[in-house]
Structure 1
Amino acid sequence: MAGTKAAELPRKAYEAELLRLQTELVKLQEWVRATGARLVVIFEGRDAAGKGGTIKRVTEHLNPRIARIAALPKPTERERTQWYFQRYAEHLPAAGEIVLFDRSWYNRAGVERVMGFCTKEEYQLFLRHCPIFERMLVESGILLRKYWFSVSDTEQQDRFRKRLEDPLRRWKLSPMDLESITHWEAYSRAKDEMLIHTDITDAPWYIVESDDKRRARLNMMAHLLSTVPYHDVPPQVLELPERPPSTGYERPPRDLQTYVPDHSASL
């Protein structure tokens, strides 16, 4: 249920701190690139908990060739026959890369468990294998960070309602999302059991209170930065060269090419 809500964070303060943290994330990215580090950040939580919005702000100013998002669709028939972690392992970073998982292998502990998309045996096997898998990642040198976005039932329902009424955000709402409302306690129990088995010293879970989206974004970004030992990497020295003198090139006549109509002139 919803708890006591903190005072709303003023937009001006939010935007100023967001820009500062995003600047630090760019520094983190350059450190990852220069040192060959490998960083994995997992975003988990209930539907409409604020994961997507936070990922958007984290990556807004990052180089997509270095920092990429892994948001896997439901497995194909072939992938269903693979080792469970196999399709996720394919998206792990190489040296100098950051991967942000918008949902991850923890699907098995959440939606698959609650909605019956896996067997009880597959679920129990996951709980045994997951800590081993993550220890292997950490021991191989991967920096693994796991965030659970916690949203109250009333706030989730309010966000669902707003998505339903907003044509720009209706695509975010699926029948599965709406069905999660009727399985609130089942998801709560599944989350609690997941944390018991997978909140390990080598790869702990960090809970992000996300009823206030602005605070959640800032808190998550600040925490991530505080857990990685990055430092400023001197930027490559670049100089803008002088444009050489013309050698007689002439642009082709406009009527030989097709231009986009000036829609803005009608505004």
Structure 2
Amino acid sequence: MSLNPPDNAQEQAELLQRLQADLIDSYDEELEMEIDDRAFDDPAAARSEAQRRERRAYFQELFRLQGELVKLQDWVVASKHKAVIIFEGRDAAGKGGVIKRITQRLNPRVCRVAALPAPNDRERTQWYFQRYASHLPAGGEIVLFDRSWYNRAGVERVMGFCSDAEYEEFFRTVPEFEKMLVRAGIQVIKYWFSISDEEQHTRFLGRIHDPLKQWKLSPMDLESRRRWEDYTKAKEVMMERTHIAEAPWWVVQADDKKKARLNCMAHLLAQMPYHEVEHAPVTLPARERSEDYARQPVPPQMLVPEIY
């Protein structure tokens, strides 16, 4: 992007300083996310030099991959590609964290997240896939499902929210449903985030003792912890019966959150034949100025108090 040059060198230097400050502010967003991811009893000051180097390397690679995702987004728009990306896994497996990093730099009109609540009374009477179908992408769109139609093979099966007949009908239908999506030109990518028993236990404890994360724990989450083995059996059946050539499952080892994010992002980029799309140079136009225009002051009672 080219900017009209400021009137003098001092203004140009001030502009560059502002741009650098804005860039640093954007990096602070990632730091805030990482602070949210770690326990309060692990202050940054206690980190070793090796940990700090590892942290810098993580952010460097995260920013690089996010830059590639922007290129992917441009290609998706230019080529009218359609993609559905499914994120499944146990509670606290890190699905939300990777979705947040994937979408952070992208246009929400191009790459959007579908995180559907439990079906209401009307939706329970519909064809099972109906409420998901309304969120499918048009040309030039990517839809990330934070949990998906695979709820029926997981939580609904384990918690008894569906009958045996509905469960079996799901497995008869879902391969054909996904093959139909692929025939319609929608790429379907399915990720399962795999964490160990011990890691989920630790993450649940972190949520219990962190007042900023307690909202993430629902009675269903706590019950899923008790039924760990039932969820394991359900997951194994699901993968065995729905791992098809047109839409295979990909397993992300997720005990290490940062590695899981980077590995998933890198793998996702490799699933599409994207390339950098050339854009015409952008020049910021000069603002028109009128001699008879004067900006009106804001009434004091409308101003937000500047307490910071």
Q: TM-score range by the shorter chain?
A: over 0.9
Counterpart Cα distance in 1 of 2:152 and 2:63: 35
Query: Deviation at 1:10?
Result: 1.4
Pairwise CA RMSD = 1.4
- The corresponding residue for 1:250 is 294
Following superposition of structure 1 onto structure 2, how do residues 25-40 of structure 1 map, counting pairs within 5 Å? 25-40=69-84
- The corresponding residue for 2:231 is 187
Counterpart amino acid of 1:207?
V
Query: How many residue pairs end up in the alignment?
Result: 258
Counterpart amino acid of 1:113?
R
Following superposition of structure 1 onto structure 2, how do residues 95-134 of structure 1 map, counting pairs within 5 Å? 95-134=139-178
Matched-pair identity in %: 62
Query: How does the TM-score come out when normalised to structure 1?
Result: 0.94
- The corresponding residue for 1:200 is 244
Query: Deviation at 1:256?
Result: 6.2
Counterpart amino acid of 1:210?
A
Could you tell which deviates more after superposition, 71-80 or 244-253?
244-253
- The corresponding residue for 2:260 is 216
Query: Deviation at 1:257?
Result: 5.7
Counterpart amino acid of 1:96?
G
Query: Deviation at 1:169?
Result: 1.0
Query: How does the TM-score come out when normalised to structure 2?
Result: 0.82
Counterpart Cα distance in 1 of 2:280 and 2:94: 36
Which secondary structure does the structure 2 equivalent of 1:146 belong to?
strand
Counterpart amino acid of 2:110?
I
Counterpart amino acid of 1:106?
Y
* 1:53 aligned onto 2:107: no
* 1:226 aligned onto 2:274: no
- The corresponding residue for 1:149 is 193
Counterpart Cα distance in 2 of 1:178 and 1:257: 47
Which secondary structure does the structure 2 equivalent of 1:10 belong to?
helix
Query: Deviation at 1:168?
Result: 1.1
Counterpart Cα distance in 1 of 2:299 and 2:254: 55
Counterpart Cα distance in 1 of 2:272 and 2:79: 13
Structure 1: stretches of 5+ with no match in the other structure:
1-6
Could you tell which deviates more after superposition, 253-262 or 154-163?
253-262
Query: Deviation at 1:253?
Result: 3.1
Q: Deviations over 1:169-208 (max 9, x none)?
A: 1111111101111111110000000011100111000000
Q: Deviations over 1:116-158 (max 9, x none)?
A: 0000000000011110100001111111100000000110011
Query: Deviation at 1:167?
Result: 1.2
Match of 2:115 among 62, 66, 71: 71
- The corresponding residue for 2:214 is 170
Off by >4 Å, runs of 4+ in structure 1: none
- Structure showing greater Rg: 2
